[in-house]
Structure 1
Amino acid sequence: HKPTGLVVMCQTERSQLGNKEKAMDMMRTKLYDEEVRKAEEAISHKRKSLVSTGDRSAKIRTYNYPQGRVTDHRIGVTVYNLDNVLNGDIQEFIDALQFAENAEKLATES
Protein backbone atom coordinates (compact mmCIF):
# COMPACT_ATOMS: atom_id res chain seq x y z
CA HIS A 1 0.00 0.00 0.00
CA LYS A 2 1.20 3.51 -0.71
CA PRO A 3 0.89 6.15 2.00
CA THR A 4 -2.42 8.00 1.85
CA GLY A 5 -1.37 11.15 3.66
CA LEU A 6 -4.13 10.71 6.23
CA VAL A 7 -3.21 11.88 9.71
CA VAL A 8 -5.23 11.37 12.86
CA MET A 9 -4.47 12.54 16.37
CA CYS A 10 -6.25 11.55 19.51
CA GLN A 11 -5.65 12.66 23.07
CA THR A 12 -9.04 11.96 24.59
CA GLU A 13 -8.14 8.80 26.51
CA ARG A 14 -6.21 8.63 29.79
CA SER A 15 -3.51 6.25 28.52
CA GLN A 16 -1.21 6.36 25.53
CA LEU A 17 -2.45 2.89 24.52
CA GLY A 18 -6.07 4.05 24.70
CA ASN A 19 -5.23 7.08 22.57
CA LYS A 20 -3.44 4.85 20.06
CA GLU A 21 -6.38 2.44 19.81
CA LYS A 22 -8.82 5.33 19.38
CA ALA A 23 -6.57 6.89 16.71
CA MET A 24 -6.40 3.55 14.86
CA ASP A 25 -10.21 3.34 14.89
CA MET A 26 -10.38 6.88 13.51
CA MET A 27 -7.82 5.98 10.80
CA ARG A 28 -9.77 2.86 9.78
CA THR A 29 -12.95 4.94 9.51
CA LYS A 30 -11.20 7.58 7.36
CA LEU A 31 -9.66 4.93 5.09
CA TYR A 32 -13.00 3.17 4.71
CA ASP A 33 -14.76 6.45 3.90
CA GLU A 34 -12.08 7.25 1.30
CA GLU A 35 -12.45 3.84 -0.36
CA VAL A 36 -16.25 4.19 -0.44
CA ARG A 37 -15.88 7.65 -2.01
CA LYS A 38 -13.50 6.29 -4.68
CA ALA A 39 -15.85 3.40 -5.47
CA GLU A 40 -18.85 5.73 -5.77
CA GLU A 41 -16.84 8.08 -7.99
CA ALA A 42 -15.86 5.20 -10.28
CA ILE A 43 -19.48 4.03 -10.53
CA SER A 44 -20.62 7.58 -11.27
CA HIS A 45 -17.96 7.99 -13.97
CA LYS A 46 -18.94 4.69 -15.58
CA ARG A 47 -22.64 5.61 -15.49
CA LYS A 48 -21.96 9.01 -17.10
CA SER A 49 -19.99 7.35 -19.90
CA LEU A 50 -22.94 5.04 -20.65
CA VAL A 51 -25.65 7.71 -20.71
CA SER A 52 -26.07 9.91 -23.76
CA THR A 53 -26.16 13.69 -23.45
CA GLY A 54 -29.44 13.73 -25.38
CA ASP A 55 -28.47 16.36 -27.91
CA ARG A 56 -29.09 15.79 -31.63
CA SER A 57 -25.42 15.13 -32.34
CA ALA A 58 -25.61 12.05 -30.07
CA LYS A 59 -28.19 10.22 -32.18
CA ILE A 60 -27.86 6.47 -32.45
CA ARG A 61 -29.57 5.65 -35.76
CA THR A 62 -30.94 7.41 -38.84
CA TYR A 63 -33.80 5.89 -40.82
CA ASN A 64 -33.87 7.23 -44.39
CA TYR A 65 -37.19 6.08 -45.93
CA PRO A 66 -36.75 7.46 -49.49
CA GLN A 67 -33.45 5.56 -49.88
CA GLY A 68 -34.48 2.52 -47.78
CA ARG A 69 -31.37 3.06 -45.66
CA VAL A 70 -30.61 2.66 -41.95
CA THR A 71 -27.36 3.94 -40.41
CA ASP A 72 -26.11 3.15 -36.91
CA HIS A 73 -23.90 6.11 -36.01
CA ARG A 74 -22.22 4.46 -33.00
CA ILE A 75 -20.35 2.03 -35.23
CA GLY A 76 -20.76 3.62 -38.67
CA VAL A 77 -22.75 0.75 -40.23
CA THR A 78 -25.24 1.45 -43.02
CA VAL A 79 -27.65 -1.14 -44.41
CA TYR A 80 -30.05 -0.76 -47.33
CA ASN A 81 -32.89 -2.96 -46.10
CA LEU A 82 -35.08 -0.56 -44.12
CA ASP A 83 -38.20 -2.71 -44.46
CA ASN A 84 -36.45 -5.75 -43.01
CA VAL A 85 -35.01 -3.70 -40.12
CA LEU A 86 -38.45 -2.26 -39.32
CA ASN A 87 -39.82 -5.82 -39.29
CA GLY A 88 -37.24 -6.82 -36.66
CA ASP A 89 -34.40 -8.20 -38.78
CA ILE A 90 -31.59 -6.40 -36.95
CA GLN A 91 -29.06 -9.24 -36.71
CA GLU A 92 -26.59 -7.37 -38.92
CA PHE A 93 -26.57 -4.47 -36.44
CA ILE A 94 -26.30 -6.83 -33.46
CA ASP A 95 -23.30 -8.60 -35.01
CA ALA A 96 -21.58 -5.29 -35.85
CA LEU A 97 -22.22 -3.89 -32.36
CA GLN A 98 -20.83 -7.04 -30.70
CA PHE A 99 -17.77 -6.90 -32.95
CA ALA A 100 -17.20 -3.22 -32.07
CA GLU A 101 -17.66 -3.91 -28.34
CA ASN A 102 -15.18 -6.81 -28.42
CA ALA A 103 -12.66 -4.69 -30.35
CA GLU A 104 -13.03 -1.92 -27.75
CA LYS A 105 -12.48 -4.40 -24.90
CA LEU A 106 -9.33 -5.72 -26.57
CA ALA A 107 -8.05 -2.18 -27.08
CA THR A 108 -8.54 -1.27 -23.41
CA GLU A 109 -6.94 -4.50 -22.14
CA SER A 110 -3.66 -3.97 -23.97
Structure 2
Amino acid sequence: MSSSRRASVWLLIVQVVGLHGLHSEETIVYPEFLEARSDNDARTLKLTDDLTLNLLQKSPFPEHLHLRTPQRDGSVLNTYVPSSLYSSKLFQDEGNFASMVVTEDDGLQL
Protein backbone atom coordinates (compact mmCIF):
# COMPACT_ATOMS: atom_id res chain seq x y z
CA MET A 1 0.00 0.00 0.00
CA SER A 2 1.48 3.36 -0.97
CA SER A 3 2.10 5.89 1.78
CA SER A 4 -0.33 8.41 0.25
CA ARG A 5 -3.09 5.79 0.12
CA ARG A 6 -2.33 4.67 3.67
CA ALA A 7 -2.44 8.28 4.87
CA SER A 8 -5.79 8.86 3.18
CA VAL A 9 -7.38 5.81 4.76
CA TRP A 10 -5.93 6.66 8.19
CA LEU A 11 -7.25 10.21 7.95
CA LEU A 12 -10.72 8.98 7.07
CA ILE A 13 -10.74 6.59 10.01
CA VAL A 14 -9.56 9.18 12.52
CA GLN A 15 -12.30 11.56 11.48
CA VAL A 16 -15.13 9.03 11.23
CA VAL A 17 -14.18 6.86 14.20
CA GLY A 18 -13.88 9.98 16.32
CA LEU A 19 -17.55 10.66 15.66
CA HIS A 20 -18.47 7.27 17.08
CA GLY A 21 -16.67 7.76 20.37
CA LEU A 22 -13.84 5.29 19.83
CA HIS A 23 -10.70 6.64 21.43
CA SER A 24 -7.86 4.68 19.89
CA GLU A 25 -4.88 6.58 18.58
CA GLU A 26 -4.74 4.60 15.36
CA THR A 27 -7.00 2.09 13.65
CA ILE A 28 -6.04 -0.06 10.69
CA VAL A 29 -8.94 -1.07 8.48
CA TYR A 30 -9.45 -2.97 5.26
CA PRO A 31 -12.43 -1.19 3.68
CA GLU A 32 -14.67 -3.11 1.30
CA PHE A 33 -17.80 -2.36 -0.68
CA LEU A 34 -20.69 -4.68 0.06
CA GLU A 35 -22.41 -5.92 -3.10
CA ALA A 36 -25.96 -4.83 -2.35
CA ARG A 37 -27.05 -1.37 -3.38
CA SER A 38 -29.98 0.38 -1.77
CA ASP A 39 -33.01 1.80 -3.57
CA ASN A 40 -31.40 5.26 -3.69
CA ASP A 41 -28.19 3.93 -5.38
CA ALA A 42 -26.15 4.29 -2.19
CA ARG A 43 -23.05 2.10 -2.05
CA THR A 44 -22.38 0.45 1.28
CA LEU A 45 -18.76 0.71 2.47
CA LYS A 46 -17.79 -1.47 5.43
CA LEU A 47 -14.87 -0.01 7.41
CA THR A 48 -15.10 -2.08 10.60
CA ASP A 49 -17.60 -4.51 12.11
CA ASP A 50 -19.17 -1.52 13.87
CA LEU A 51 -18.86 1.16 11.19
CA THR A 52 -20.52 1.06 7.78
CA LEU A 53 -21.07 4.07 5.52
CA ASN A 54 -23.91 4.43 3.01
CA LEU A 55 -22.28 6.49 0.27
CA LEU A 56 -24.12 8.54 -2.33
CA GLN A 57 -22.43 10.36 -5.19
CA LYS A 58 -22.11 14.01 -4.27
CA SER A 59 -23.21 16.61 -6.78
CA PRO A 60 -23.42 19.35 -7.97
CA PHE A 61 -20.00 20.82 -7.35
CA PRO A 62 -18.60 24.30 -7.39
CA GLU A 63 -16.18 24.96 -10.25
CA HIS A 64 -13.15 24.14 -8.05
CA LEU A 65 -12.66 21.90 -5.03
CA HIS A 66 -10.47 22.85 -2.07
CA LEU A 67 -8.33 19.87 -1.02
CA ARG A 68 -6.53 19.95 2.33
CA THR A 69 -3.74 17.39 2.66
CA PRO A 70 -1.92 16.95 5.99
CA GLN A 71 1.87 16.82 5.68
CA ARG A 72 4.30 14.87 7.85
CA ASP A 73 5.60 18.08 9.42
CA GLY A 74 2.10 18.96 10.69
CA SER A 75 1.39 21.62 8.08
CA VAL A 76 -1.54 21.40 5.66
CA LEU A 77 -1.14 21.62 1.88
CA ASN A 78 -4.07 23.53 0.34
CA THR A 79 -4.80 22.77 -3.32
CA TYR A 80 -7.61 23.91 -5.61
CA VAL A 81 -8.49 21.51 -8.43
CA PRO A 82 -11.21 21.50 -11.10
CA SER A 83 -14.23 19.62 -9.77
CA SER A 84 -14.52 17.71 -13.05
CA LEU A 85 -11.53 15.59 -11.92
CA TYR A 86 -13.60 14.13 -9.06
CA SER A 87 -17.23 14.46 -10.13
CA SER A 88 -17.77 10.72 -10.57
CA LYS A 89 -15.55 9.74 -7.63
CA LEU A 90 -16.78 11.88 -4.74
CA PHE A 91 -19.23 10.25 -2.33
CA GLN A 92 -20.81 11.28 0.96
CA ASP A 93 -22.65 9.77 3.90
CA GLU A 94 -24.71 12.60 5.36
CA GLY A 95 -25.66 10.61 8.46
CA ASN A 96 -22.01 10.13 9.48
CA PHE A 97 -20.79 13.50 8.12
CA ALA A 98 -18.29 11.68 5.89
CA SER A 99 -17.10 12.58 2.39
CA MET A 100 -14.45 10.81 0.37
CA VAL A 101 -13.01 10.26 -3.07
CA VAL A 102 -13.42 6.60 -4.06
CA THR A 103 -11.57 4.90 -6.92
CA GLU A 104 -11.47 1.25 -7.86
CA ASP A 105 -9.03 1.40 -10.81
CA ASP A 106 -6.24 -0.42 -8.93
CA GLY A 107 -8.14 -1.93 -6.00
CA LEU A 108 -10.31 0.06 -3.61
CA GLN A 109 -8.72 3.40 -2.74
CA LEU A 110 -10.26 6.03 -0.43
TM-score (norm: length of structure 1): 0.22
Q: Which has the larger radius of gyration?
A: 1
Structure in which a larger fraction of residues adopt helix: 1
Using CA pairs below 8 Å that are at least 6 residues apart, which structure has the higher relative contact order?
A: 2
